[in-house]
Amino acid sequence: MKRISIIIPTKNRPGFLMKSLHNIEKFQNSEELEMIVVDDGSTRQMAHKNMEVCKNINEGIKYLFIEGRGPASARNMAIRISEAPILFFTGDDIIIPQSTLEEHLRFHKDKYKENFFAMTGPIEWDNSIKAKGILDFLDSGNFQFKKDVDAKNDVFETDFNLFYSSNLSVKRSFLISENLFFDERFPFAAWEDIELGYRCQKKGMKILYNNNAPVYHFHEQTISNLVERMVKSGKSLRIFLEKWPELSESFGYSFKGNRFRRKKNFLKALMRNRYIASLARRRFLNSSGQEELNHISAFCLKNMLFYHFHKGFMEGCQRGEGNA
């Protein structure tokens, strides 16, 4: 029997998928791993390439195609067909060190073998990414992935806010017995994992963070894709808070009379406006992202991203969005 199922959604990125799968295939005892790739609606040409990538790397890789229903649906499909007792969620743009996978396996075998324990860990930037200035900025502001710190312990309890599906392992039996799956109303890869983490935590799951189990994100970052990501993240947070309005205050919104409002802060509202966002976007549009950002540049970029995040939140998701 396989020890762990590695679940990877993908869409139109055969080059990324190849790099990620090649890395896993090099592991010792890779025959003990069940690898499941779910293609979330790639074009016909890209789907063919994705399928060939899987076949050429290891004919045992399970490749499934679904009609662009979003990463939540892709992961749910993989959960249902998985056979191993432990599920490891990651992305097609993630490098997993063998030592990290071993940390996940050890975690579930030893001290935390009860099925209500889950493990997550750091998501770092791969050294191959050139846009160091942007990466330092994103890390300092927790824009991409938050991290957790405990001065005394390498492994410690955290909460649903770090339930990131780039570096996450859970017991399959817990999800199945509690009927816990990703909410497929989330069309993008944003907040759908954190929302599942919240429901899991409400059902008694304990989420632990292991500083010794990093993975590495190798997707190059640009200002344009950061803006797009912030809009999608805002739209997805809207879905999350409509479902769980009791959490609105902790994310900077109030919910009264069936309406969301941004918690009032005159200075932030003054800085996070269309004019500042437009100026900042022009400033960074042709930037390579490699140069170090000074305080003014970082301030403008931060407020531009928050402006687009709030814009996405107030717009919300339209029917069918995310399936293109």
Q: What is the pLDDT of residues 144-169, one digit of tens each?
A: 677 777 767 899 999 999 999 999 99
Of the CA atoms within 13 Å of residue 180, those in its CB half-sphere come to 23
> Mean pLDDT for the chain?
88
Average of pLDDT values for 96-112? 96
Closest CA to 219 of 301, 310, 122, 128: 128
Plot region of 316 (φ>0 → left; ψ -120 to 50 → alpha; else → beta): left
The secondary structure element, H or E, covering residue 17 is helix 14-25
In the predicted structure, residue 60 carries a pLDDT above the cut 70? yes
Convert the pLDDT of each residue in 211-241 to its tens digit: 999 999 998 877 788 889 999 999 999 999 9
pLDDT of residue 210: 97
Convert the pLDDT of each residue in 11-28 to its tens digit: 999 999 999 999 999 997
- As a whole-number percent, the residues of the chain with pLDDT over 70 amount to 84
Average of pLDDT values for 170-178? 99
First CA to last CA across the chain, in angstroms?
Answer: 38
Average of pLDDT values for 287-315? 79
Residue ranges and CATH numbers for the domains of the chain are 4-132+148-217 (3.90.550.10), 223-315 (no CATH)
15 class by beta-carbon count within 10 Å (0-12 exposed, 13-18 middle, 19+ buried):
exposed
In the predicted structure, residue 266 carries a pLDDT above the cut 50? no
In the predicted structure, residue 133 carries a pLDDT above the cut 90? no
In the predicted structure, residue 319 carries a pLDDT above the cut 70? no
Closest CA to 225 of 125, 144, 323: 144
